[in-house]
Amino acid sequence: MAFPSCFLLLILALIAAAAEAVGMAEATAAASGASRKKTYIFRVDHLAKPSVFPTLAHWYASAAFSIGAADPLPLLHVYDTVFHGFSASLSEIRAVALAAHPNVLAVFEDRVRHPDTTRSPQFLGLRNQVGLWSDSDYGSDVIVGVLDTGVWPERRSFSDRNLGPVPSRWRGACETGPGFPASLCNRKLIGARFFSKGHDAAFVGGGGAGINETVESRSPRDADGHGTHTASTAAGRHSFDASMAGYAEGIAKGVAPKARVATYKVCWKGSGCLDSDILAGFDRAVADGVDVISVSIGGGDGMASPFYLDPIAIGSYGAVFRGVFVASSAGNDGPVSMSVTNLAPWLTTVGAGTIDRNFPADILLGNGRRLSGVSLYSGKPLSGSAYPLVYPGKSSGLSASLCMENSLDPKLVAGKIVICDRGSSPRVAKGLVVKEAGGVGMILANSASNGEGLVGDAHILPACAVGSAEGEAIKTYAASVAAPTATIQFKGTVVGVRPAPVVASFSGRGPNGIAPAVLKPDIIAPGVNILAAWTGATGPTGLDSDGRRMEFNILSGTSMACPHVSGAAALLKSAHPDWSPAAIRSAMMTTASITDNLRRPLTDELTGKPATPLDFGAGHLNLGRAMNPGLIYDLSDEDYVAFLCSIGYDPRTVQVITHVLVACPAKKPTMEDLNYPSISVAFDGVSATKNQSRTVRRTATNVGAESSAVYRSRVEVAATQGLAVNVRPRKLVFTTGSRKQSFSVTVTATSAAAAAAAGSDGDGGGQYGYLVWSDGAHQVRSPIVVSWMQPL
């Protein structure tokens, strides 16, 4: 839009007046010590840029945005792809003044977030020379962008042997820095960038130490290990004779071994990831030409932010708008209800499940009882038959029971195996405390909130993790005899574990705290004890004192599950280049498994009881079926805009997310009508004593090989639940000229259903079922979740 010169002069005059007033306020604030700077992200209406400015950066740096000071804005990042605006380090007074600028749509303060295999590809149903791996040529030429802690490029997982030229559409670069020459990029690792301006403004500008350049360079190199692990999980090349100190031996490979990798270092060791840098990573990755983005980064302070204040939601919308698939981690704050993060419906949110491999260790007590646990300890085993056993929490209090730093009395624990409770500090750090106090070993006991969920750790002393029940049994034994003893026996690697998968106890759970009509997580994938490449800068525990260096490490978390889905998306994108991000997600969700390898319903690791869609979404990723889903539920930009209008956002707020002008329909859309592969209905909890009914609508697209097909519906809901589900029409007929068919689903719940949900254990007060469309060859499954929401 071009402004008349007289109008532009008027704007500049008003801005100058405002600058003078705010400048006086800043001087007063400075005198009182209230002018400390913070980093803010500004969303700007880029369509309002006067033509006199050649670029948005010139406009932002001009006097037009110098409200509150005579000097230009100290810009950190300028965003112009998935987001339009800038970040800057400002005083609160100047930020408030700038928020009133007529072209500033939104302002939010920068926040710190944190980053949330030899067998897992086979566990997902991938096989050499057949199926999706073969049909997609192992993801060849698809570009996966990874927003994380960087990369250790020398690992075999990033070899470019036998790969063809870099795709011609690639527009990225290999940024250099200390110890990271451009020659480290190749035909596999085709791009590497780093983003530190937001980090520096938050930590150095805020009086902190900033980046410790003795352990981490200003380059894409990964000093933490998390980014190398996730990138190689998604798209690592075949690495023969891989293991972590003998554990999980085999051929390590990513889900999409021939896909190209581009890394965007937005997280820094020990200090996390700043929203402003994350948003810059999204902006650059899409501009560079990635096809898939993997974001294993949590939700900041654990509280779900509205979509218009969430840079991951905003950045990912801009990516999806341009056809880029985005996978994100569901968070590790489970099993608490409503703990899932990354809730936007255009994101594919991934929870964690186990695979059929484990690393058992046994604890043999002095009374002859044998208990099972898990460990990745690879050092010298315990010698002798037994050692004294002690639980310091019995006599020394809470901090000692948790084995916190400086909490253990060497006189009490020296020469003994120490029982430590899980929580409050890293699991491996507790082992260091025990070792420094003279202990010879550690038994790490889960709390009741962790249940029986176990993950392996590469401990620095002989140590084993046990579930809550085993932990209580060991403590009871230690308290019941005068001289308790124990030893730990390490069993190595065991394959063929049953049942698997199981929903990991730490995996973030629903319901969706912002939009309950969208079920989150969407899906679960392998996220427990995953082997992948590792940094050369730190040991497998990440502890400063751990001098071991390994090519591979075994980690657990939804951070490990997310890149499995990112790699899966690369395979599906390669096999179906015309599919949208929503189509790819739909194919994964409607073909996901809801049973384990015992052919029983998926269970919850916490309790051992059946899990629900609030725990696992549509189910566990099964790539043996996702290649040919039969039907998909697609979504357009208009659908997402209607959804945002349905949850009460006005057009200006929607524009903050979509970066385009929108108009909400005169009649408010229905939130549940978003064409999602799952169905979630939230009834009024106040009216739970009455029968309630809700109708939702969906449109299915036939993507099967046969253009003419007939699908019939089947509803799987237990009649005793008090739920009735009615589908109209019950049959969908597809032809060459009619690839899309719409239908409605009416869910009716009685007061008995609400009462049954309220009395259920650990499921968030919900009832569940499934809608399945079948043509005899395909089973297109959607979970149905019914909940009763109480007013705030």
CB 377 within 8 A of CB 458: yes
Instruction: Give yes or no: residues 194 and 77 share one domain.
Output: no
Has residue 661 been placed in a domain? Answer: no
What is the pLDDT confidence band of residue 9, given thresholds at 50, 70 and 90?
very low
Task: Give the end of a domain, one of 609, 626, 643.
Answer: 626
Is 333 one of the annotated active-site residues of the chain? no
Q: Report which of 294, 283, 295, 260 is spatially closest to residue 170, judged by C-alpha positions.
A: 260
- pLDDT tens digits, 412-470: 999 999 999 998 888 999 999 999 999 999 999 998 888 888 889 999 999 999 999 99
Please tell me which residue in 559, 678, 713, 782 is annotated as part of the active site. 559
- pLDDT tens digits, 221-278: 999 999 999 999 999 999 999 999 999 999 899 999 999 999 999 999 988 899 999 9
pLDDT of residue 760: 54
pLDDT at 619 over 60: yes
Please tell me which residue in 110, 148, 222, 673 is annotated as part of the active site. 148
Packing angle, helices 558-575 and 226-235, rounded to 10: 30
CATH number at residue 681: 2.60.40.2310
Is 438 exposed, middle or buried, given 0-12, 13-18 or 19+ CB atoms closer than 10 A? middle
Instruction: Give yes or no: residues 140 and 269 share one domain.
Output: yes
pLDDT at 66 over 50: yes
What percent of the chain has a predicted confidence (pLDDT) above 90?
73
What is the pLDDT confidence band of residue 70, given thresholds at 50, 70 and 90?
low
Q: Which range (157-166, 480-489, 654-663) has the least confidence?
A: 654-663
pLDDT of residue 7: 30
Q: Is 573 helix (H, G, I), strand (E, B) or coil?
A: helix
Has residue 682 been placed in a domain? Answer: yes
Is 242 exposed, middle or buried, given 0-12, 13-18 or 19+ CB atoms closer than 10 A? buried
Find the domain containing 18 and state its range: 5-109
Instruction: Give yes or no: residues 347 and 208 share one domain.
Output: yes
Has residue 21 been placed in a domain? Answer: yes
What is the pLDDT confidence band of residue 178, given thresholds at 50, 70 and 90?
very high
pLDDT at 208 over 70: no
**Rounded distance, CA 691 to CA 616, Å?**
28
**Rounded distance, CA 451 to CA 768, Å?**
24
What is the pLDDT confidence band of residue 17, given thresholds at 50, 70 and 90?
very low
Total residue count of the chain as it appears in this document = 792
Instruction: Give yes or no: residues 368 and 351 share one domain.
Output: no
What is the pLDDT confidence band of residue 103, given thresholds at 50, 70 and 90?
very high
* 366 Cβ contact partners less than 8 Å away, ≥ 6 residues apart: 386, 389, 477, 481, 483, 484, 485, 486
Instruction: Give yes or no: residues 618 and 717 share one domain.
Output: no
**Rounded distance, CA 306 to CA 72, Å?**
31
pLDDT of residue 132: 67
pLDDT at 375 over 90: yes
Please tell me which residue in 84, 199, 226, 620 is annotated as part of the active site. 226
Instruction: Give yes or no: residues 699 and 783 share one domain.
Output: yes
Instruction: Give yes or no: residues 758 and 781 share one domain.
Output: yes
Instruction: Give yes or no: residues 301 and 330 share one domain.
Output: yes
Has residue 114 been placed in a domain? Answer: no
What percent of the chain has a predicted confidence (pLDDT) above 70?
89
Has residue 601 been placed in a domain? Answer: yes
Instruction: Give yes or no: residues 382 and 487 share one domain.
Output: yes
Is 148 one of the annotated active-site residues of the chain? yes
pLDDT at 670 over 80: yes
Instruction: Give yes or no: residues 212 and 293 share one domain.
Output: yes
Task: Give the end of a domain, one of 605, 626, 647.
Answer: 626
Q: Which two tokens stand for residue 581?
A: 């991000």
Has residue 665 been placed in a domain? Answer: no
Instruction: Give yes or no: residues 376 and 430 share one domain.
Output: yes
Has residue 697 been placed in a domain? Answer: yes
CATH number at residue 402: 3.50.30.30
Has residue 650 been placed in a domain? Answer: no
Instruction: Give yes or no: residues 572 and 541 share one domain.
Output: yes
Task: Give the end of a domain, one of 51, 78, 109.
Answer: 109
CATH number at residue 280: 3.40.50.200
pLDDT at 5 over 70: no
- pLDDT tens digits, 378-389: 999 998 789 999
Give the count of domains, the chain: 4
- pLDDT tens digits, 634-657: 999 999 999 999 999 999 999 999
Phi, psi of 194 (to 5 degrees): -140, 150
What is the pLDDT confidence band of residue 301, given thresholds at 50, 70 and 90?
low
pLDDT of residue 18: 40
